[in-house]
Amino acid sequence: MLLGHEKTSFLNLPTPIDYLKNISEDLGVDFYLKRDDLTLLGTGGNKLRKLEYFLKDAKDKGATMLITEGGAQTNHGRLTAAVAARYGLKCAIVTTDLYPGEISANLILDGIMGCDVYMVQNVKAPEGTDPRDIAMEEIAKQYEAKGETVYKIPVGGSNDLGALGYYECAVEMAKQTQELEIADPHIFVTVGSMGTYIGLAAAQLNEKLPFRLTGIAIEPFPNGAAKEALEYYNGVKDFFGLTYEAKEDDFDINCDYDRGAYNNPVKEVREAIYYAGRKEGIILDPCYTGKTFAGVLDMARSGLIEKGEKVLMIHTGGIPGIYTKHHRVEFEKELMPYIHIVK
């Protein structure tokens, strides 16, 4: 039990921390990777940590179905589908994205696991509300009318309860780094829907964990990332009865590497992906971990990360994103020289 809440345990925890020797030597830092891409189910990823807590809550409430929302290629949706399949629940994903013209990447995996994906168009949402919330409520009502008990999970699993998954992970990493004698690590993590980052930050601040935490924003935050982080943290603080009174300065989120949009194809990001693949055989994705690693690379090369610093980046998964059409076509153009047709 953590902060008064139980979970349904289905992960192979703790996930390993790997030392990346070649990248470390090249950058002049000690570079480590927390392998949350190696969590079980649905090809793995960070959202499974949150789903352990959601699943327990859903089962306690007698749910027969999980429903969530996000983009058409949502990684969280894929992993929600995986958990639902494992535990005999129905599952649906709701998006307001247009049909991308093909069934690829996560959409293939969703279907393999028996999850319905609803691409709801022309949603009328009041100003200041997310159209996906409106669409999910409508689809949930349709299932409830058929007798299902529906448990609703927000975008990215990012709410107060979901934050517990990475509160737990922060404590796990603190123990691992101590055992591995990694003193004063500087942890880097992707910031998108922010649930992973807030879970880590909440644990760091309230448990006084011995590491520095930096988030790398992979999309713009027009209202200010630190401001949003503080608002999210205060909700988590009240929900769990935490004691640390935070301020915006407590949240280190670097917004210099969002590349202007969410999930956009960017040459520098692909170059960072090639670098990780060719140096270490590690595969990153172009939306989340690739963008984050591109930012960390630039910080190391420019001196913002000091020589000899102990860097620990969390690999949050998301590999299927490579196979989405708008990313795949760019990879195909650049990687064609590696294909040799011999007749």
Question: Residues 48, 54: contact at Cβ < 8 Å?
Answer: no
pTM: 0.96
**For residue range 72-94, what is the model confidence (pLDDT) as tens digits?**
999 999 999 999 999 999 999 99
- pLDDT of 190: 98
Beta strand 310-315 with 30-35 is: parallel
Query: Which CATH architecture does the domain made up of 17-44+160-337 adopt?
Result: 3-Layer(aba) Sandwich (3.40)
Tell me: pLDDT of 127 over 90. no
Comparing C-alpha atoms, which of 31, 101, 36, 105 is closest to residue 74? 105
Please give the helix or strand (H or E) that residue 293 lies within, else none: helix 289-302
What's the Cα-to-Cα distance from 105 to each of 74, 85, 185, 274, rounded to whole Å? 10, 18, 34, 20
Question: CA neighbours within 13 Å on the CB side: how many for 324?
Answer: 21
**For residue range 13-59, what is the model confidence (pLDDT) as tens digits?**
999 999 999 999 999 999 999 999 999 899 999 999 999 999 999 99
**For residue range 174-207, what is the model confidence (pLDDT) as tens digits?**
999 999 999 999 999 999 999 999 999 999 999 9
- Bridge partners, residue 186, by sequence: 212, 311
Query: Which CATH architecture does the domain made up of 47-157 adopt?
Result: 3-Layer(aba) Sandwich (3.40)
The pair phi, psi for residue 226, each rounded to 5°, is -65, -35
- pLDDT of 128: 82
Sheet holding 212-217, edge to edge: 17-19, 30-35, 310-315, 186-191, 212-217, 253-254
The ranges assigned to domains in the chain are 17-44+160-337, 47-157
From 114-128, 185-199, 279-293, the region with the lowest mean pLDDT: 114-128
| CA-CA-CA-CA torsion sign (298, 304, 309, 314) | negative
- Asked if domains 17-44+160-337 and 47-157 share a fold, the reply is yes
pLDDT > 90 in the chain, percent:
97
- pLDDT of 276: 98
